Amino acid sequence: MALKLFNTASRKKENFEPREQGKVGMYCCGPTVYHYAHIGNLRTYVFEDVLRRTLLYNKFSVKHVMNITDVGHLTSDSDEGEDKMVKGAKREGKSVWEIAKFYEKAFFDDFHALKLQDPEIKCKATEHITDMIELVKRIEQNGYTYIVDGNVYFDISKFPRYAEFARLNLEGQEEGARVEIDNAKRNKADFVLWFTRSKFGNQEMQWDSPWGRGFPGWHIECSAMSMKYLGEQFDIHCGGVDHIPVHHTNEIAQAEAATGKHPWVKYWLHGEFLVEDTGKMSKSKGEFLTLNVLKEKGYEPLVYKYFCFTAHYRQQLNFSWGGMDSAKNSFNRMKNKILALKEETGNLEQDGTFGGKSRQYLDDFEESINDDLGVPNALAVMWSVLRDEELKSEEKLKLLYRFDNIFGFGFKDWKKETVTVPEEIQKLVDEREEARKEKDWAKADALRDEIQEKGFLIKDTAEGPQLEKKY
């Protein structure tokens, strides 16, 4: 089954064929480390992880690059507003370097809690300033830039394909734009490649350059680092949908202006937003939801991942606590069933080939994920397997382990937790044992229900009652 992916560049689902057979170069725009990632940001990384896993599942070797933005990202993607890192530093009374270090770690803690696979290369903007300067020099040599007040601008009128990728209506955009006007720009959508005049007073992060001491614009880092690690043309570039009209449009302009090669990237994939009733989830609104907040409210990170899987990555996903509760219920039912299967099969790793009904399930699963990462359909196949009354436990578990290559829940590592039984529960258990001895079955059953309501399953074995945590 060929892998099909929706390419933003053509607005069509296309058969995926990398530039070099069997090998994929993939670049994903990473976090700006000035604050915790909100759960909307994390939805995008969950989608990218499914993409990565699907490529691996299809036996491609993958070189996945992700940047860490620790300089130069302004609150508006189009060179306006405050510098995000400076804002973070001011908020916490720390240096920008301290802020970057702290939030980078926090980001990867979340990343790993969701069991997302590490990219082969993680690259920090501040460690690639020379690469960015070299790229700006090439763009300048090719005649695409101008300088006003010490800042180097990209002149979009020199790059006729500028509006193509995002199907921009530049006239309309000019009228509709709500950003402050930078009078230095020749065209509204021109953007800064290198700042020497900081609009923000004392900028801690500064480097020497042919245009003077300063710092890079935000977009240049992704063009520079992706080409450094993946070559001047490569296979896949991803991010959230908000990146289509500005950031990725600018990245394309920079890269193609420098190299003269088109298309820079063969497949562009964009994840839709996590939205709240009040609109897109974003940090600029002040309070925002993080994975830690979810944890405090009793939703483990993998429940959030399950929640993300209930919608296709190209559909908006509405966040609600009700939605989280039903994800938690489904996740826990899945967990109970899988733990039971492991117990029944003696925890043995199931190997071998897939035949008969199992083969059919596997085909359905592969068809779902290879059809533009159809994870909700793949989840439905998983549930059919779990509910199938004819399939043997060994076969089920073998399929589930296979599916987990895409889901990344870590089924193989799941174990029944050894439970410490609270005193209150132990008392109920003892009372129930008493009732059973006296053959008061009604009382014993009522106590069993009470114990269950309090979160424990009770099993009567030859060695006496045993308790398990109920999910």
Residues of this chain that bind Zn ion (CB under 5 A) = 29, 222
| Max Cα distance, the chain (Å) | 94
Q: d(Cα 259, Cα 246) in Å, to the nearest integer?
A: 20
Kindly tell me which residue out of 18, 31, 88, 119 binds ligand AMP, with binding defined by CB under 6 A. Answer: 31
Residue 279, strand partner residues = 276
CA–CA separation, 231 vs 238, rounded Å? 16
Closest CB 124 distance from Zn ion, rounded Å: 13
Nearer to Zn ion, 27 or 153 (CB): 27
Q: Around 303, how many Cα atoms within 13 Å sit in the side-chain half-sphere?
A: 22
Q: How far is the CB of 247 from Zn ion (least distance, A)?
A: 5
Residue nearer to ligand AMP on the CB measure, 308 or 378: 308
CB of 319 to ligand AMP, least distance (A): 9
Q: Which does 222 bind (CB under 5 to 8 A by kind): Zn ion, ligand AMP, none?
A: Zn ion
3-state DSSP percent of the chain in helix, strand and coil, to 5: 45, 15, 35
32 binds, among ligand AMP, Zn ion, none (CB under 5 to 8 A by kind): ligand AMP
Residue 72 interacts with which of Zn ion, ligand AMP, none, CB < 5 to 8 Å by class: none
Q: Which residues contact 240 (CB under 8 A, 6 or more apart)?
A: 41, 44, 270, 271, 272, 273
Q: Which is nearer to ligand AMP, 73 or 342 (CB)?
A: 73
412 binds, among ligand AMP, Zn ion, none (CB under 5 to 8 A by kind): none
- Where does this chain touch ligand AMP (CB under 6 A) — which range of 24-32, 223-231, 324-332, 448-456? 24-32
Is position 43 an interface residue for ligand AMP (rule: CB under 6 A)?
yes
> How many residues form the binding site for ligand AMP (CB under 6 A)?
17
- For 201-222, give the DSSP string: SS-S--B--TT-SBEE-HHHHH
Rounded CA-CA distance 138/144 in Å is 9
Residue 244 CB, nearest distance to Zn ion (Å)? 12
Least Å distance between CB 434 and ligand AMP? 55
Residues 236-255 that bind ligand AMP (CB under 6 A): 239-240, 242-243
Nearest to 362 by CA among 341, 340, 385, 343: 385
Residue partners of 437: CB distance under 8 A and separation at least 6? none
Q: What is the 3-state secondary structure (H, E, C) of 313-341?
A: CCCCEECCHHHHHHHHHHHHHHHHHHHHH
Nearest distance from C-beta of residue 39 to ligand AMP, angstroms: 8
Segment contacting ligand AMP by CB under 6 A, of 36-44, 191-199, 440-448, 460-468: 36-44
240 binds, among ligand AMP, Zn ion, none (CB under 5 to 8 A by kind): ligand AMP
CA distances in angstroms from 150 to 214, 298, 461, listed in the order given: 9, 52, 80
CB of 282 to ligand AMP, least distance (A): 6
Check: CB of residue 226 under 8 Å from CB of residue 268. no
DSSP 264: S
* CA–CA dist 136, 146 (Å, integer): 11
Q: Looking at beta carbons, which pairs linking 110-114 to residues 24 or more positions away fall under 8 Å?
A: 110/36, 110/37, 110/42, 110/290, 110/291, 110/301, 111/45, 113/291, 113/301, 114/42, 114/45, 114/46, 114/49, 114/291, 114/301, 114/302, 114/304, 114/305, 114/408
Q: Which stretch binds ligand AMP (CB under 6 A): 164-172, 270-278, 284-292, 299-307?
A: 270-278
Q: Are 467 and 457 in contact (CB under 8 A)?
A: yes
Binder of ligand AMP out of 273, 304, 361, 411 (CB under 6 A) = 273
Q: Residue 189 CB, nearest distance to Zn ion (Å)? A: 17
Q: Is 448 in the site for ligand AMP (CB under 6 A)?
A: no
Name the closest residue to ligand AMP (Cβ).
240
- Contact present, 188 and 174 (Cβ < 8 Å): yes
The amino acid at 143: G
- Binding site partner of 303, from ligand AMP, Zn ion, none, Cβ cut-off 5-8 A by kind: none
Q: Which is nearer to Zn ion, 270 or 396 (CB)?
A: 270
119 is a site residue for ligand AMP (CB under 6 A): no
> Which residues inside 210-239 make contact with ligand AMP, applying CB under 6 A?
239
Q: Closest approach of Cβ 422 to ligand AMP, in Å?
A: 39
Return the axis-axis angle of helices 249-259 and 218-230, rounded to nearest 10°: 60
Residue 273 interaction partner, one of Zn ion, ligand AMP, none, beta carbon < 5-8 Å per kind: ligand AMP
265 binds, among Zn ion, ligand AMP, none (CB under 5 to 8 A by kind): none
CB of 69 to ligand AMP, least distance (A): 6
Contact positions vs ligand AMP (CB under 6 A) = 29, 31-32, 40-41, 43-44, 239-240, 242-243, 271, 273-274, 280-282
